[in-house]
A and B are shown apart, each in its own frame.
Chain A
Amino acid sequence: MEEKKIIVEIKNVNKVYQGTNAVVKDLNLNVYEGEFLTLLGSSGCGKTTTLRMIAGFEDITSGTILVEGENIEDKEPFERNVNTVFQTYALFPHMTVFDNVAYGLKIKKKPKGEIKTKVMEMLELVQLGGFEKRYPSQLSGGQKQRVAIARALINQPRVLLLDEPLGALDLKLRKQMQLELKRLQRKLKITFIYVTHDQEEALSMSDRIAIMNDGILQQVGTPVEIYEQPATRFVASFIGETNLFDGAVSSVDGDKVSVSIESGVITGKGTDFKVGEMVAVSVRPERIKYSVRPVEGFTVPAAVKEQVYVGSVLKTIVVLPNGNEIRIERLAGEELPAEGMVYLYWKDEDAKIIHSFDNNIFAAIDNIQLA
Chain B
Amino acid sequence: MNRRIKEKIKYTAGIIYCALVYVFLFLPIVVIVVNSFNATTSKPYLSWKGFTFAWYGKLFENTVLLASFGHTVLLAVVSTLLSTAIGTLAAVGMYKYHFKGKGLIDGLLYIPVVIPEIVLGISLLTVFAKASVPRGMITLVLAHVTFSIPFVIFNIRARLSGYDNSIEEASMDLGANRVYTFFHITLPVLAPGIGGGALLAFTLSIDDVIISYFTNGQVKTFPLKVMESIKSGVAPDVNALSTLILVGTSLLVILTQSGIFSKHKK
Neighbour of A77 across the interface among B169, B185, B188, B265, CB < 8 A: B169
Contact digits for B233-266, partner A, Cβ 8 Å, 1 yes 0 no: 0000000000000000000000000000000111
Cβ of A151 and Cβ of B167 under 8 Å apart?
no
Cβ of B175 and Cβ of A108 under 8 Å apart?
yes
Say yes or no for A104: interface residue by CB 8 A criterion.
Answer: yes
Give the complex CA separation of A135 and B177 in angstroms: 24
B-side contacts of A155, CB under 8 Å: 174-175
Give the complex CA separation of A137 and B264 in angstroms: 12
Most central of B166, B171, B173 by chain A CB within 10 Å: B173
A-side contacts of B53, CB under 8 Å: none
Say yes or no for A83: interface residue by CB 8 A criterion.
Answer: yes
Neighbour of A104 across the interface among B166, B174, B188, CB < 8 A: B174
A-side contacts of B167, CB under 8 Å: 90-93
A-side contacts of B174, CB under 8 Å: 78, 83, 103-104, 107, 151-152, 155
**Interface SS majority for chain B:** helix
B-side contacts of A94, CB under 8 Å: 188-189, 264
Give the complex CA separation of A21 and B171 in angstroms: 30
Cβ of A90 and Cβ of B264 under 8 Å apart?
no
Contact digits for A136-170, partner B, Cβ 8 Å, 1 yes 0 no: 01000000000000011001000000000000000
Cβ of B265 and Cβ of A90 under 8 Å apart?
no
Give B168-221 interface residues, CB cut-off 8 Å to A.
Answer: 169-177, 180, 185, 188-189
Neighbour of B264 across the interface among A88, A103, A108, A135, CB < 8 A: A135
Say yes or no for B7: interface residue by CB 8 A criterion.
Answer: no
Give the complex CA separation of A98 and B54 in angstroms: 57
Give A73-124 interface residues, CB cut-off 8 Å to B.
Answer: 76-78, 83-84, 86, 88, 90-96, 103-104, 107-108
8 smallest CB-CB distances across A and B, nearest first, come from A90-B170, A90-B166, A104-B174, A77-B172, A107-B175, A78-B172, A84-B173, A94-B188
**Sample of 10 more A-B contacts, CB < 8 Å, known A84-B170, A103-B171:** A76-B177, A77-B172, A86-B166, A86-B170, A90-B166, A92-B185, A96-B264, A103-B174, A107-B180, A137-B266
Residues of A within 8 A of B (CB): 55-57, 76-78, 83-84, 86, 88, 90-96, 103-104, 107-108, 135, 137, 151-152, 155
